[in-house]
């Protein structure tokens, strides 16, 4: 069975300053913030994507047509200022329609000899991560939450000032609270086995 994608789930870039990034994309580009994540420290899913995500903010913007643009602000990753400037992507995610399609894609990749780096349930989406021959991190993901301006997935209890202003009363209305490990559950890969023993 072949992989069946339906466009871009999200493309993830690096932000040198998340508040500045939010101001630009909301005020200038008119992209609503639809996901805010405050990742715990240490990195909750090391190895899934490049960089040290410990303590990172990860926000998604709705860019129309059901597609999203995502940014990481990583306080512990020294490469961010350089990569942010040249527009280097961190990873790209392709959307699949359902959990069954995600499972089918996983079986297909394994059959083709492509190692699955990680499988993660992010609550708002479920994803598998792997690499292309260049080492570019690819993700296949299925949404499990609307992640729309009307129903955003908000997990960051302390969004940046511009984000707080942009979200208005949605911050209280939609804020979801998870345990200290955040909203992600590593199902396989990375150091999942190690983490299971913590």
Of 73, 32, 39, 29, the closest CA to residue 163 belongs to: 32
102-161: which residues touch Fe ion (CB under 5 A)? 139
Dihedral angle sign, alpha carbons of residues 49, 96, 107, 127: positive
Which is it for strands 185-189 and 125-131: parallel, antiparallel or unpaired?
unpaired
80 counts as binding Fe ion under rule CB under 5 A: no
Tell me how far, at minimum, the Cβ of 194 lies from Fe ion, in Å.
Answer: 22
**Contact pattern for Fe ion over residues 10 through 39, marking x by CB under 5 A:** --x---------------------------
- CA separation for the pair 77, 90 (Å, rounded): 12
Q: Which residue is nearest to Fe ion (CB)?
A: 93
Only segment of 5-13, 20-28, 38-46, 157-165 that touches Fe ion (CB under 5 A): 5-13
Nearer to Fe ion, 22 or 124 (CB): 124
CB of 147 to Fe ion, least distance (A): 12
Best CA proximity match to 166, nearest among 177, 178, 154, 176:
154
**Binding-site member from 22, 69, 93, 167 for Fe ion (CB under 5 A):** 93
CA distance 145 to 62: 14
* 69 near Fe ion, judged by CB under 5 A: no
Contact 131, 177 (CB under 8 A): no
Closer by beta carbon to Fe ion, 139 or else 156: 139
- The site for Fe ion (CB under 5 A) is made up of 12, 93, 139
């Amino acid at each position: 069975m072949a992989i069946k994608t339906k466009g871009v789930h999200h493309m993830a870039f690096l932000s040198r300053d998340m508040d500045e990034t939010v101001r630009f994309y909301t005020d200038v580009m008119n992209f609503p913030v639809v996901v805010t994540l405050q990742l715990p420290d240490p990195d909750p899913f090391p190895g899934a994507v490049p960089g040290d995500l410990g303590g990172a903010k990860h926000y998604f913007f709705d860019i129309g047509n059901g597609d999203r643009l995502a940014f990481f602000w990583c306080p512990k990753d020294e490469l961010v200022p350089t990569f942010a400037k040249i527009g280097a992507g961190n990873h790209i995610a392709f959307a699949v329609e359902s959990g069954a399609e995600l499972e089918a894609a996983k079986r297909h990749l394994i059959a083709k000899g492509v190692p699955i780096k990680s499988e993660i349930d992010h609550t708002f989406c479920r994803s598998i991560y792997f690499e292309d021959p260049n080492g570019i991190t690819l993700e296949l993901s299925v949404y499990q939450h609307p992640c729309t301006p009307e129903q955003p997935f908000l997990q960051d209890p302390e969004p940046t000032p511009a984000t707080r202003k942009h979200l208005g009363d949605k911050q209280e209305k939609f804020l979801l609270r998870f345990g200290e490990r955040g909203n992600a559950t590593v199902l396989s890969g990375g150091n999942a086995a190690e983490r299971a023993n913590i």
